[in-house]
Amino acid sequence: MTARPIAVVGASAAGLAAAEALRRFGWRGPLTLIGDEPHLPYDRPPLSKQLLHGAWEPEKLLLRTKDQLDPLDLDLRLGTRATGLDVATRTLTLDGGERLGCAGVIIATGVAARSLPAAEGIAGVHTLRTLDDALTLRGLLANGGAPGSGGVAAGGGGRRLVIVGNGVLGCEAAAVARELGHEVTLVGIAEIPMAAAVGAEVGALLAEEHRARGVQLRTGVVDGFETAPADPAGTGGGQVTAVRLANGGPHGSGGVASGGPPVAAGGEGGSRLPADLVLLAIGSRPAVEWLADPALDTTDGLRCDAYCAAAPGIYAAGDVARWDHPHHGRPLRFEHRMNATEQGMAAARNLLAELAAEAPAAADGDATPAQERRPFAPVPYFWSDQYDLKIQAYGLTAGADRIETTVLDRERRRAVALYGRDGSAVGVLAAGLPPRRLRALRAVVATPLAWDEAREQLRAALASGQDTP
């Protein structure tokens, strides 16, 4: 009798971490890693930074080379999409119609970029989620930049890039495009960039930096796109020439906050942004559309318990997983790189513990060492690089009901912020601080503390060392 495999769906950072952990923790049976892209597992954060800029080539993003993967003895299915999962039998259906019965499944399918219906078929409108997305956009930016402009020349030439969405991805791409010499307009529904993730005061510092670098900041919602006529052959939807905003305007002019209804193209109150390229950075959606089994809750990701289990023998990790964080008392989902790796390892360990309890003497000698499941309780961490500014945060910064920001040096955009929820401090952020200062900040939110206690710890941490670059 051939042992059933453990299947990891998603050849991502989380999926690779899970596969490696399964071997490290003792799984000797068949191991299948399924990825819908044709590429070996690669790192995503550099897509909007080093790769887009041209400083790195795709090979540098690989998490493992083929030679490094060989010792895992994987059944590696690249360019293959999972289309269904029967939870009761732990059976995957793949896009070629194959049905794969599994001992266990770890789902690490991540998220997909959101788009706009009006953008469908229009040349020059892009999203940025995959390696192929980034390479396409990089090629267009590389061919249209202003040589030697350094990204700061007045009227610096290059292409006119409109970025729709002023969250982390939009801000990072704006920084890269300006450094390459392009004219950049950054549009957001919220007036302050990244405000939902970092708060108004830190977001205002980021806005100052982008303005100083020549980025135009606008507030508004997209009302549509203008295009050049389609090619003579009649194929395609034409090349984008402008983005139309409803009630758009410079920050501080009211924008959508004025409360007016959307305005048609050319109508009073609307705004037209000329564009050679458009990047839609309007967020993402968890890649769960293939999970139709009613035993699974796919509301805002795949719902899991504190052990990352969505159902018996079915676990999830990374951006797709929404699980009960033991310290925060509510389900959370993080789209952060470090969480992907940590949760992949945790899901692997807990799945093996469950399988060992189910079948202590597995067939073909594939039993795993006895171990106990452990709740997954990380201290979330994320970072963002924009120009020369590095932002790093621990804990939860989004959804805070209290934020206290200390600006240490406005000219250099150096600041520290503490984030609270329901009377406890749950997150801390540092902008422009040297790495050695961050270890003390992490301890402030390693577990939720009462606000006043955390505040004092933060002050002590800031006072413990001289604030030098």
**pLDDT tens profile 407-418:** 999 999 999 999
What pLDDT does 366 receive? Answer: 53
pLDDT tens by residue, 139-195: 999 976 433 333 333 344 589 999 999 999 999 999 999 999 999 999 999 999 999
pLDDT of 336 strictly over 80:
yes
Which runs of E-coded beta strand occur in 102-159? 104-107, 111-113, 125-127
Cα Rg of the chain, angstroms: 24
Q: Are strands 125-127 and 302-304 parallel, antiparallel or unpaired?
A: unpaired
Q: How far is the C-alpha of 189 from the C-alpha of 218, rounded, in Å?
A: 9
C-beta of residue 432 within 8 angstroms of C-beta of residue 469:
no
When pLDDT is cut at 50, 70 and 90, the band that residue 255 belongs to is very low
Residue of 197, 163, 199, 192 lying closest to 335 (CA atoms): 197
What pLDDT does 441 receive? Answer: 85
What pLDDT does 443 receive? Answer: 86
Q: How is domain 388-463 classified at the architecture level of CATH? A: 2-Layer Sandwich (3.30)
Q: 416: which strand partners?
A: 406, 430
When pLDDT is cut at 50, 70 and 90, the band that residue 103 belongs to is very high
What pLDDT does 247 receive? Answer: 65
What element of type H or E holds 53?
helix 50-53
C-beta of residue 147 within 8 angstroms of C-beta of residue 133:
no
Q: How far is the C-alpha of 214 from the C-alpha of 203, rounded, in Å?
A: 17
DSSP reduced 3-state for 119 = helix
Which carries the bigger pLDDT value, residue 256 or residue 141? Answer: 141
pLDDT of 268 strictly over 60:
no
C-beta of residue 158 within 8 angstroms of C-beta of residue 275:
no
Q: Is 189 exposed, middle or buried (0-12, 13-18, 19+ CB in 10 A)?
A: middle
Same fold, 6-112+284-365 and 117-280: yes
Q: How far is the C-alpha of 165 from the C-alpha of 171, rounded, in Å?
A: 8
**CATH homologous superfamily for the domain 6-112+284-365:** FAD/NAD(P)-binding domain (3.50.50.60)
What pLDDT does 465 receive? Answer: 56
Number of neighbouring beta carbons within 10 Å of residue 434: 13
What pLDDT does 232 receive? Answer: 58
pLDDT of 262 strictly over 70:
no
Assigned token pair, 298 = 């796919």
**Mean model confidence pLDDT for the chain:** 88
What pLDDT does 1 receive? Answer: 45
Which carries the bigger pLDDT value, residue 12 or residue 466? Answer: 12
pLDDT tens by residue, 378-404: 999 999 999 999 999 999 999 999 999
pLDDT of 257 strictly over 70:
no
Phi and psi angles of residue 378, each rounded to the nearest 5 degrees, phi first: -80, 165
Assigned token pair, 188 = 């957001």
CATH number for the domain whose boundaries are 117-280: 3.50.50.60
What pLDDT does 439 receive? Answer: 75
pLDDT tens by residue, 427-440: 999 999 887 777 78
- How do the domains of the chain map onto residue ranges? 6-112+284-365, 117-280, 388-463
Q: Are strands 104-107 and 111-113 parallel, antiparallel or unpaired?
A: unpaired
Q: What is the mean pLDDT of residues 123-150?
A: 82
When pLDDT is cut at 50, 70 and 90, the band that residue 369 belongs to is low
Q: What is the mean pLDDT of residues 325-334?
A: 91
pLDDT of 251 strictly over 90:
no
C-beta of residue 165 within 8 angstroms of C-beta of residue 195:
no
Amino acid at 336: H
Q: What is the mean pLDDT of residues 215-222?
A: 96
In this prediction the pTM is 0.89
